[in-house]
Structure 1
C-alpha cells in the first residue's frame, strides 16, 4: 500500500539527526519550503498533515535560523522520539550499492506519477543509448534525471553529473568530473572517462554563447561512447538534433491532482490540473486564491496573473533583481532579506545546494514584455551594489551589470579587474570581454584582450578572428607571432616576434626578450640536448645581456634571469661544473639564504642524486613552500632518472595533486611536464596524458616539444 503524504513527511523528517532539534542553524530541508520541495507537493498540502502529526505528538515546530536562508528566524519542523519510532515502519532498508555520483547533482525530490518515465529513462541510459531530454521550463527534466541517476547508482553504476551554467566551459566540466588537477583538452577528458560510466548533462541552455560551441563539441565526443543523457529546454539546439529526443509532457490530471492539497475539492483539483497541462512547477505555485487559467496559454497566463501580479512591491523588486543576476546567489548577497525570505516562502526560488535563483519558469515569464529601459535601470543599480563588495566573484557580477547597463567607459572599468576575476572564475574573463567588446562597438583594447585570452585558452579560431581586426603595432604583432607558432610556422613567428620587440620601448623589450629566451629553453623534451642548440640559445642570452643598459631599473633583474637561463642550459647539457660556477657567482651577489640560490643548489643536488640520496632530497623538495618550484624540482629529478625509485615516484604522485595556475606560460609548461611524466609513470592513462601534455605545450608556444609528443602518441596508437 502506498505511503500517505503524512507518512512520507514523517519519514523525511526522521532523516534529521537528533541533535538538530536544539540547533541554532538548521538545513533548509527542515523548513516548510524545503519540505514541500522534497515531497513534490504544494505548501498548502502540508498544513493539515503537519497539524495532525503535531496533535499526535509525532512532530514539533519551532522558530530557528535556516542555513543560507537569511538571518530571520523561520518555522522549522522536527520529529519527536515517538515520531522517529513511528517512521521506522516507513523506512525501507537501504540497498547495498557500489555505485556513485560524481559531480554536483541536485537533491532528490519525491516525484508523483513519473515512475514509467523514470523506468524508461533508466533502461535507455544503462543500455548505452544517448538521448536528449527536452521539455518546457519547470516540467521536471532535472528531477527526472536525478531520480534516474539514483536508480543507476543503486544498480552499481557510476554516474557522472555535469551541471552547466553561464560560467561553464570545457575546463570547468573537466574539473567537476576529474578534479581540479584533471586534464583540460577534450581528447584527454574523454580518454580518461571509463567506458562504463553513465553521463548526465543538465543546464545546456544556461551556457554562455561564447562557450557553447566548445561545450557541445565535448558533449558530442562524450556521446560517442554511449550512455549519455542531455537535459535541454525546448527547442533542441541544431547541433544535438541528430540524437534521439525524448520529450517530457505534463502529468496526467489524476497524478497532477495528487500534488494539491487534500482540502481542495477533487473535481476542482482535476480542473486545475487539466488547465495547467499537468505542469509540476505551475501546480506547486497554486494557493487558495488562485484563479483557474484558460487552457490556451495556461501556464504563462497563470504565472503572470496569479503569481507575479500577487507580489507586493518589495517582493517584486527582489524578484526583478534576482532574475537579472548572471549567477545563482547566496542568501547574504541579497540586499532586501525580507523580500528574499518571502519569495522563498512562496516557492518562487530554485535552489542548488546553498545557492539560489528565481525558478526558471517564473524568470521566463517575467522577462516577457519587460521594458528594456526598466532592466537597464536595475542593472545600473545592481552594479553599484556589487561595487561595494570585495573579491573576484563580486567583480565578475558587477562587470556583467555594468555591461548590461550600457556604461560608456566599460573598457576602463573591466580591464583593470580581469586578473582578479580570472583567479576566481577563469571562464568568466573571456565572456565578459566578448560581451563588453560587442557593447562597445569594437573597442581596440577589448579586441586585443579578447585575442590574447583566446590564444591562452587554445581557442584559435576565435583568436584568429580578433587578430584579423586588430591594427598593426608591436603588441598585436606579438600575438600574431604566437598564432603563427601555434600554426607550426616557427620561422615566420620568430621573424615577426623579433621585429615587434625591436619596435618596443626598453622596458617592454627586456620583458619580451626574457620571455622569448625562456620559451626557447622550454621548447624541448628532456633527452641528451644537442650542444649546437644549447650553444645557439646561450649566444642569444649573451647578446641580450650585453645590450642591457646599466642605468635601466630592470637591468639587474634581467641579468639574474639570464644567469638562471645559463644555469638551466648547463644542467641540460650535463655540464654541472659550469652550472656550479653560475651558482657561485649568484651566491656571492645574493648570499646563501637567498631563495633563488637555495633552489639552484637543490637543483644541482637533485641532478647528481643517486638512488640512496632520493629520500632525503625528496623530503627537502617537499619542504619547498612554493608549489611551482616544488613541482619543477620534482619533475627535473624524475626526468634525470631512467629507473626512478619508489620514493621518487611517490613524491611525484603527491606533487601531481598540487594546483598549478595556468594563467602564465610557466604554469602551462609545468602542466605539460606533469602530464608527460604521468604518461611515463601510469600506463593506463598514457595516451590521454600525452594528449593533455600536447595541449598545454601548444598553449605555451612550444611547437617542437609538442611535435615530439604527437609523434609518441601516434607510435602508441
Structure 2
C-alpha cells in the first residue's frame, strides 16, 4: 500500500513520460528540487518515499542534463510502467484541462490553507475583488494557484499575470490576453469583461515605481467589471487605497500544517521547535536543513536567512546569488556570467523559475541586498556594468544602463541617451524606468528631455507634464508643451504654443517642424474620402513653405516629403495633373525602379473606385505587392489602403494579412509608427465586430498619443453610438 507522499510523487512524474532515454533537456520538474517544489516539502522529505518507490521499481533515477541549467548533470526521476499501472489502479483523480492564459505557475501541494482558499474563493464567486498581502515567501502565489484551480474546476477561465521589474500595463495585458500592443486601461477592461473569469496579478510589488500609477488606474478600471480580480502583493502594499478590493493578510502556517513540509523522520519535539522558531513561514521551513542546528528561539525570518541560509553557501553559490540579486529582472541561465553556483542555489530552495528564466526568492534577494555596504554595492554594480558592456542587443544595453546608474559613478549622458534611443525601440517600459533612474541621480536637461519624450510617446501625460515643467524656458520646452496639449485634446492651446515656439526656432528647425506638422495633419483622420478643405489647407501651407535656407544635403529629404504629400493628396482627390507632376518629381529623386514608386502607383490605382470599391485587378495587384513588400510601415499602410479600397467586402486573404501583421511589434518612438498603430487598432475593430468596442477604445488612446485629435474626436463619436 503506497503512502500519500508516494502517490503524489507518482502522480507528479506521470506528467513526464517518454523521455527515459533522453540525455539532455529533461524538465526541471523531474529533478529533486523540482519534485520537492511541486509537493511543497523540503528536499530531505523526499528521501524516504523515493527510496521506497525505487526499491519496488515504481521509479528509476539516473543522471541527465536538465533543461535550462547548463551542461552539468543532475539526478532525475522517471516513473516506470509498473509505477504508472499502480497509480492508475489507485483511483487517483485525473488531472483536468482548464482554460487559462498567461504564465500560470505549476500547481503545488498546499499544506493547510483550506480556510483561506475557501474564504477567498467565496468572495471571488460573489463578485468581490481581493488584495492578498503578506511577507515574501509566505505562500501567496501557491495559495492563489490553489484558489484558481478550485474556480477552474467549476468552469471559470483564468487569466494570470506576474509582474517583474520592467512590467507595465501592456505586458500585463499581453499575459492576460495573449496579444501584444494593449496600452489603454479602458480598452483592456472592456476586452476582459466577462463573467466566471478570474484575473490574477502576482508580485505587484515588483513593479517599478515609474509604472505604479498606471497599474493603479488599471486596477480601478477592472474593479467593477464582471470578472473577479485577485491581486497578490508583498506587505507593505505600494497602493495607499484600492476601493472595491477586500484586503486579506496571509500569515504563517499552524504547526499541524507546517509539520507536513518537514521530513517525516524528524521527531515531533524538533519539528515543533523549528516551526515555532520560524513562525510557520513556508519558505523558511523549506530553507531549513536537518543538518543544521534547530533554532533555539523565535527568530525573525530575515535574520534566519542572513545568519544561517546565506552562511552555508559556497563561494560559487554566493557569486551566482549576487549576480541574480543585483539584476533588476530575471535572467536566463545562458545569460549568467557566474552560473556555476546555480545547482547549489536550486538544491537549497533559493531559486524561483519562470520557464528558462530564474531569480532568487524575493525574501533571499531582499536580505542579501540589505547586507551590502554602499561601497560593495557600487563595486558589484560597476563590475556587472563592465560585464554587460561586452554583450550585444537591447537587453544587454538595458542591463548595462541599470548597472551603470547603480555604480555610484558620474552619468555619461551621451552614452545613456544614445542607448535609451536603442532600448525604447524594443521596450519603452524599460526605457522609461532607466530614464527615471537617471533623473533621480542627475538633473541634466538632456536627460530630462529624453524622459519627457518617452512619457509623451507612451501617452503618460502626468509624468510628461512633470518633466516638461522642469525644463529650461525656450522653444524646446514650448514644443513639448504643445505636444502635451494635443495629447490632452487641447488643440487651441497646442496651436498657440507651437506658434510661440516657432518664433524661437532657426530657419532650418522651422522648416523641419512645418513638414512634420503637415504630415501629421494628413494622417490625422479616419479611413475614408479626404475632406477637400483639409487638402486645401495642407496644399496652401506647402505653397508657402520656403526650403531655400536648408543645406543641400537636407533639401532632398524635405522635397521628397513635400512631393510625397502632394502626390497622395492629388491621388485621393483624383487630381491627375498634379499627381502626375508629383510622381515625376518623385521618380527623379528616388530612381525609376524604386519599390516605393510601385507602392505609390498602386495606392493611386486603389483610389480609383466604382461604388466605393477598386477594380479587382487593382486589388489583385495589391495582393502581390503586399506579399513582396519587406518594409513593415509600407506593408501595413498598403494593407490598410487595400482594406479601404475593398468596400465592405473584405477578402479573406486580406483579413488574414492584417491579423498576422497586427502581431508585429511597432516601435513607439517614431510618430509615423504611432499613427499607423492607431489606424491598425481602428481596422481591427472593423474586422472583429465582436471586439469592436475594446479595439476602438485602444485606437482612441493611440490616436491621442499620436497627437491626432481630429481622428480621436471622430472615433469618439463613433464609439458613443455603439455603447
Which TM-score applies when normalising by structure 1? Answer: 0.94
Distance 1:268 1:499 in 2: 78
1:399 deviates by: 1.0
Q: How far does residue 579 in structure 1 lie from its aligned partner after superposition?
A: 2.3
Assess if the C-alpha contact under 8 Å between 1:576 and 1:604 holds in 2.
Answer: no
Q: Report 1:381-420 matches (<5 A).
A: 381-420=383-422
- What is the distance in 1 between the residues matched to 2:126 and 2:89? 35
**1:459 matched residue in structure 2:** 460
Q: Secondary structure at the match of 2:331?
A: coil
Displacement, 1:228?
A: 0.8
Work out which of the residue numbers 649, 653, 671 in structure 1 matches 2:677.
671
Report whether the alignment pairs 1:249 with 2:251: yes
Rounded to whole Å, the distance in 2 between the matches of 1:264 and 1:551 is 83
- Matched with 1:191 is 190
| CA distance in 2: counterparts of 1:4 and 1:398, whole angstroms | 49
Deviation at 1:368, TM superposition (A): 3.6
Contact 2:277/2:295 (<8 A) preserved: yes
Give, in whole Å, the separation in 1 of the partners of 2:337 and 2:371.
26
Q: Name the counterpart of 1:709.
A: 715
Deviation at 1:532, TM superposition (A): 3.1
> Is the Cα contact below 8 Å between 1:391 and 1:420 reproduced in 2?
no
Report the equivalent of 2:564.
564
1:177 maps to what in 2?
Answer: 176
1:376-426 deviation digits (Å, cap 9, x = unpaired): 221111111111221111111111111111221342331111132223332
- Checking the alignment, whether the CA contact within 8 Å between 1:507 and 1:554 is kept in structure 2 is no
| SS class of match (2:299) | helix
Deviation per residue, 1:658-695 (Å, 9 max, x gap): 44333311111112212223333433333333222221
SS of the aligned residue for 2:634 comes to helix
Partner of 2:27: 27
Contact 2:131–2:248 (8 Å) recurs in 1: yes
Q: Distance in 2 between matches of 1:601 and 1:90?
A: 72
Counterpart Cα distance in 2 of 1:682 and 1:231: 33
Distance 1:691 1:189 in 2: 9
Partner of residue 637, structure 1: 642
Q: What is the aligned counterpart of 1:308 among 302, 307, 310?
A: 310
Matching residue of 2:626: 622
Provide the rounded CA distance (Å) in 1 between the counterparts of 2:243 and 2:302. Answer: 26
Task: Give the 3-state SS of the residue equivalent to 1:445 in structure 2.
Answer: helix
Q: How far did 1:139 drift?
A: 0.8
> Is contact 1:25–1:67 with CA below 8 Å preserved after alignment?
yes
Q: Contact 2:675–2:706 at 8 Å: present in 1 too?
A: yes
Alpha-carbon separation, structure 2, partners of 1:435 and 1:547? 40
Question: Does the C-alpha gap of structure 1 residues 243 and 487 become closer, same or farther in structure 2, counting only changes over 3 Å?
Answer: closer
Check conservation: 2:170, 2:180, Cα contact below 8 A: no
For 1:507-546, what per-residue CA distance to the aligned partner results, in whole angstroms no more than 9, with x for missing partners? 54454332111011112234443323312211222332x4
In structure 2, the residue matched to 1:150 is 149
Of 635-644 and 59-68, more deviation after overlay is shown by: 635-644
Structure 1 residues 190 and 547 mapped into 2: Cα distance closer, same or farther (>3 Å)?
same
What secondary structure, in the 3-state scheme, does the structure 1 residue paired with 2:130 have?
strand
- Counterpart position of 2:104: 105
| Cα shift at 1:284 | 0.7
- 579-588 or 44-53, larger mean C-alpha shift: 579-588
The 8 Å contact of residues 592 and 598 in structure 1, kept in 2 or not, is answered as no
* 1:586 to 1:695, Cα distance in 2 relative to 1, 3 A: same
Pairing 1:267-416 to 2, within 5 Å after superposition? 267-293=269-295, 295-416=297-418
Paired residue secondary structure (1:484): helix
Q: Decide whether the 8 Å contact of 1:293 with 1:301 is kept in 2.
A: no
What is the CA–CA distance in structure 1 between the aligned matches of 2:309 and 2:355, rounded to whole Å? 25
Distance 2:695 2:166 in 1: 26
Residue 119 (structure 1) aligns with? 118
Structure-2 separation of matches of 1:14 and 1:716: 51
1:254–1:270: 8 Å Cα contact kept in structure 2?
no
- 8 Å CA contact 1:256, 1:278 repeated in 2: yes
- 1: distance between equivalents of 2:2 and 2:712? 62
Deviation at 1:241, TM superposition (A): 6.8
Shift of 1:459: 0.8
Deviation, 1:611, is 5.5
Q: Which residue of 2 aligns with 1:519?
A: 520
SS at match of 1:21: coil
Gaps spanning 5+ residues in structure 1: where? none
User: Is 1:57 aligned to residue 57 of structure 2?
Assistant: yes
78-87 vs 156-165, which deviates more?
A: 78-87
Ranges of 4+ aligned residues in structure 1 off by more than 6 Å: none
2:215 aligns to what SS in structure 1?
A: helix
1:375/1:181 Cα in 2 relative to 1: closer, same or farther (>3 Å)?
Answer: closer
Question: Which residue of structure 2 aligns with residue 129 of structure 1?
Answer: 128
Structure 1 residue 245, shift from structure 2 partner: 1.4
* Contact 2:606–2:619 (CA under 8 A) maintained in structure 1: no
Query: 1: CA distance between counterparts of 2:332 and 2:662?
Result: 33
Please tell me whether the aligned partners of residues 611 and 645 of structure 1 are also in contact (alpha carbons under 8 angstroms). no
Q: What is the alpha-carbon distance in structure 2 between the residues aligned to residue 252 and residue 602 of structure 1?
A: 73
TM-score normalised to structure 2 length:
0.93
Q: C-alpha separation between the residues in 2 aligned to 1:248 and 1:318? A: 31
Specify every segment of 5 or more residues in structure 2 that has no aligned partner in the other structure, as ranges. none
Moved more, 550-559 or 247-256: 550-559
Higher mean displacement: 231-240 or 275-284: 231-240
- Determine the C-alpha separation between the residues in 2 that align with 1:287 and 1:297: 16
- 1:680 to 2:686 alignment: yes
Q: What secondary structure sits across from 1:408 in the alignment?
A: coil
CA distance in 2, matches of 1:309, 1:96: 43
Of 674-683 and 643-652, deviating more is: 643-652
Distance apart, 1:636 and its partner CA: 2.2
Q: Aligned equivalents of 1:104 and 1:456: distance in 2?
A: 28
Q: Which moved more, 1:147-156 or 1:614-623?
A: 614-623
Q: Secondary structure at the match of 2:201?
A: strand
1:619-668 per-residue CA deviation (whole Å, 9 max, x = no partner) reads 22431222321221222233345433444555544544444333311111
Distance 2:551 2:414 in 1: 33
Aligned to 1:700: 706
Structure 1 stretch 505-514 or stretch 455-464: which is displaced more? 505-514
Q: 1:5 matched to which residue of 2?
A: 5
- The change in CA–CA distance for 1:387 and 1:89 in structure 2 (over 3 A counts) is farther
Contact 2:452–2:467 (Cα < 8 Å) also in 1: yes
